[in-house]
Structures are given as structure tokens and as C-alpha cells.
């Protein structure tokens, strides 16, 4: 009996820890995605009318930027819901 209660408490605490971990990285991850998006946007700036960096550099980096391009593309597609994401992040309901 005591053992089961202890087991329950332990698993509860583990759950708390995991959720704390999730929460603690949530903001950083959001920032990270934004940075990756910005990085890709800067390199691909000429497509949206931003001043563009050396084309040579863009072309040399392009083959290595799968992840950043993917994030950028998704960002562009989900542009409408960026407020939603922010609201979720800051617990606004």
C-alpha cells in the first residue's frame, strides 16, 4: 500500500519534471525556429524583395540548408496562425 503510494508520487513527480522540461524549452524552441526562418529569409531575401547577400554565398549554402528552408516554407504557409502560436505560447486564451 505504502509502496504503491510512493510509486504514484514518484511517477507524478516524473510527470511534473517532464512538463517543466517541455515548458522550459518551449520558448527557446520558438525562438530557434524564428532564427532559422530569419537565416533562410536573409539568404533568400531576393525572392521577397529584401537586399540579398552575395549570390555566391547563397548558392554555396543552399545545399546545406534543408532544415532552414523547411522552416521558412512552413512559416510562410502558416503565416496566418502566427498569432495563434504566440497566444498558445504565452497561455493567452
Partner 1 sequence: MREYLLPKKGYRVVFVLGKGGVGKTTTSASISVALAERGYKTLVVSLDPAHNLGDVFRTKLGDKPKKILENLYASELDMEKLIRGYLEHLEKTLKHTYRYLTVINLEKYFEVLKYSPGIEEYATLEAIREILEDGDEWDVIVFDTPPTGLTLRVLALPKISLIWTDKLIEIRRKILEKRAAVSNIKGPLRFRVGDEEVELPTEEEKDEVMKELKRYRKEIEFVERVITDPEKTSVIAVMNPEALPLYETIRIRDTLKRFRIPFRLIVINKVIEVSAEVPELKIRLRAQMEVLKRLKEEFPGLDVVKIPMFAEEPRGIEWLRRIGGMILGD
Going from the C-alpha of 25 to that of each of 5, 32, 57, the distances in angstroms are 30, 10, 32
Q: Under 8 Å CB-to-CB from 69, ≥6 apart: which residues?
A: 40, 44
CB of 90 to partner 1, least distance (A): 18
75 binds partner 1 (CB under 8 A): no
Nearer to partner 1, 10 or 21 (CB): 21
Q: Under 8 Å CB-to-CB from 62, ≥6 apart: which residues?
A: 43
70 binds partner 1 (CB under 8 A): yes
* Contact residues for partner 1, defined by CB under 8 A: 21, 24-25, 28-29, 31-32, 35-36, 38-39, 42-44, 46-47, 52-70, 73
Amino acid at each position: 500500500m505504502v509502496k504503491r503510494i510512493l510509486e504514484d508520487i514518484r511517477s507524478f513527480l516524473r510527470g511534473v519534471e517532464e512538463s517543466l522540461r517541455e515548458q522550459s524549452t518551449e520558448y527557446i524552441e520558438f525562438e530557434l525556429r524564428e532564427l532559422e526562418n530569419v537565416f533562410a529569409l536573409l539568404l533568400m531575401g531576393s525572392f521577397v524583395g529584401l537586399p540579398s547577400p552575395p549570390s555566391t554565398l547563397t548558392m554555396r549554402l543552399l545545399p546545406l540548408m534543408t532544415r532552414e528552408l523547411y522552416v521558412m516554407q512552413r512559416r510562410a504557409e502558416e503565416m496566418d496562425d502566427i498569432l495563434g502560436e504566440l497566444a498558445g505560447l504565452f497561455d493567452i486564451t
